[in-house]
C-alpha cells in the first residue's frame, strides 16, 4: 500500500472510526510489513500527542470550574409573541396588496400627446445681424446654420399607437442599434 493510504488508515484507527473487520485486516497487514508499521506508529504517536494537547488546553482552563450553559435571551416576552405575529402578518399583507395593486393599475391613456405648432419659428434679430455681417465667409454658413432653429424629426417608435407588443416590435425595428 502507499504511504498516504497507510497514514489515513492509521488516523482512522486511532480515532476508532474503523469497523472491526477493517481494523483486524489493518493490524495483520502492519504486523507483516515492518516499514509500513513504522509509518503507522509515527502517525499514531502524532495523533495521540495532538489529542492530549487538545485535552489539556480545553480541560485545563476550566478545571474545577462549572461552566453553565448559555441561555438565549428572547427579544419579546412570551405574552407579546401573538401580537408580533399578527403585526408581521399585517405588514406582509399590506406589502403584497400594495404590490398587486400597483402592478394591476391600467392607465386610461397610454398614448403620449404630441403638440405641434403650425407657426414657423421666429428668427431673432441677433441672428439676422450675424447673417448680414458674416455672410459669405468660411465659418459663417456653418455657424449660422447651427444657430437657426430646426424642427425636430419625429420617429415612429416614439408614437405609441396600439398594443404594447406592436409598439415594441416597431420600436425594435426602428432603433435596433441602440
Task: Decide if 25 is inside a domain.
Answer: yes
Say if 85 falls within a structural domain: no
Does residue 26 fall inside a structural domain? yes
Q: How many degrees, rounded to 5, is the angle at CA 164 between CA 159 and CA 170? A: 55
| Residuewise pLDDT in 10s, the chain (178 residues) | 788 888 888 888 888 888 889 889 888 998 998 888 888 888 889 888 988 888 887 776 556 666 666 777 777 777 888 888 999 999 999 999 888 877 666 555 556 666 666 666 655 566 677 777 777 777 777 777 777 767 666 655 556 566 777 777 777 777 767 6
Count: domains in the chain = 2
Q: Phi, psi at residue 86, to the nearest 5°? A: -65, -40
Which of 11, 26, 61 is at the close of a domain? 61
Residue 75 located in a structural domain: no
| Neighbour count for residue 6 (Cβ, 10 Å) | 22
The verdict on residue 103 lying in a domain is no
- Could you tell me if residue 23 is inside a domain? yes
- Print the domain residue range for 155: 125-174
Distances in whole angstroms, Cα of residue 141 to Cα of each of 120, 125, 127, 149, 150:
21, 17, 12, 14, 15
42 φ, ψ to 5°?
A: -60, -45
Asked, for residue 145, whether it belongs to a domain, the answer is yes
Q: Is the pTM of this model over 0.75?
A: no
Amino acid at each position: 500500500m502507499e504511504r498516504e493510504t497507510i497514514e489515513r488508515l492509521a488516523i482512522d484507527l486511532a480515532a476508532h472510526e474503523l469497523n472491526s473487520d477493517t481494523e483486524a485486516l489493518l493490524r495483520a497487514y502492519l504486523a507483516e510489513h515492518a516499514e509500513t508499521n513504522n509509518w503507522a506508529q509515527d502517525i499514531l504517536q502524532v495523533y495521540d500527542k495532538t489529542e492530549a494537547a487538545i485535552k489539556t488546553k480545553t480541560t485545563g482552563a476550566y478545571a474545577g470550574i462549572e461552566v453553565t450553559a448559555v441561555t438565549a435571551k428572547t427579544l419579546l416576552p412570551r405574552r407579546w409573541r401573538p401580537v408580533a405575529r399578527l403585526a408581521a402578518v399585517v405588514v406582509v399583507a399590506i406589502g403584497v396588496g400594495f404590490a398587486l395593486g400597483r402592478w394591476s393599475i391600467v392607465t386610461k391613456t397610454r398614448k403620449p400627446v404630441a403638440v405641434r405648432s403650425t407657426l414657423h419659428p421666429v428668427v431673432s434679430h441677433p441672428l439676422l445681424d450675424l447673417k448680414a455681417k458674416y455672410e459669405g465667409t468660411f465659418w459663417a454658413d456653418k455657424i449660422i446654420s447651427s444657430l437657426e432653429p430646426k424642427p425636430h424629426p419625429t420617429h415612429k417608435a416614439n408614437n405609441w399607437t396600439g398594443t404594447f407588443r406592436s409598439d415594441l416590435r416597431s420600436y425594435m425595428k426602428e432603433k435596433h442599434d441602440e
